[in-house]
Amino acid sequence: MKIKTLLLLFLMVTLMTGFYSCSTIPNGAVAVQSFDKERYLGKWYEMARLDFKYERDLSNTTAFYSLNEDGTIKVDNKGYHTKKETWTQAIGKAKFVGAEHVGMLKVSFFGPFYSGYNVIAIDENYQYALVAGKNLKYLWILSRKPHLPEAIKEHYLKIADSIGFTTADLLWVKHDQRK
């Protein structure tokens, strides 16, 4: 009977964490404090990422952000699966964790389960962004165009290194515009 109770308690805590978890941010990272949601909307090219299972073997990856009627942000991710030779798409939504002027959001592609999406650096023209996930396993460098100036690359790598990301593990995404 105690095992069933403990199992039930564990299951409830796990589910509640999934339903109500707030975005987290890696220690040492700080979300942009003067974030402008409207300027962030639109198409972004993924220039680099720490690879993980949902993006494994994808090239030409992009994200398109637009507003939903309820004020959340629609996230439309696309990429070309190099092994299956097909395009894939994942549609989710993002919400601000707190104030909309702080680049700390949570994103979901799986119903009520959210994960951190933290804009930790962005240039003044909203052309390049450095995004951290909930921990040091998730990092992206984004650009409005399918190329990244070396100065921006080096600047963002320094920021990521100072937080503790293993930038040597970044996968640099190929953008050869397959159709």
One-character DSSP codes across 31-84: --TT--HHHH-EEEEEEEEE--TTTTTEEEEEEEEEE-TTS-EEEEEEEEETTT
List Cβ neighbours of 13 (8 Å cut-off, separation of 6 or more). Answer: none
| Lowest-pLDDT choice from 1-15, 28-42, 67-81, 112-126 | 1-15
Task: Determine the pLDDT at residue 178.
Answer: 61
16 pLDDT above the threshold of 70: no
In this structure, are residues 171 and 138 in contact, taking their beta carbons and an 8 Å threshold? no
Task: Flag the least confident range among 3-12, 34-43, 70-79, 123-132.
Answer: 3-12
Tokens of 166: 């293993």
Among the listed residues 39, 47, 49, the one whose alpha carbon sits nearest the alpha carbon of residue 133: 49
In degrees rounded to 5, what are phi and psi of residue 170?
A: -60, 140
* Domain parsing of the chain, residue ranges: 2-172
Q: What is the mean pLDDT of residues 158-169?
A: 98
Residue with tokens 């409207």: 38
Percent of the chain beyond pLDDT 70? 85
Q: How far lies 112's CA from each of 55, 95, 137, 149, 156, in Å?
A: 20, 12, 21, 37, 31
Residues paired with 89 in a beta bridge: 78
- The pLDDT of residue 39: 98
CATH topology of domain 2-172: Lipocalin (2.40.128)
Tell me the C-alpha distance between 153 and 110, whole Å: 31
pLDDT mean across residues, the chain: 89
Q: Return the pLDDT at 111.
A: 84
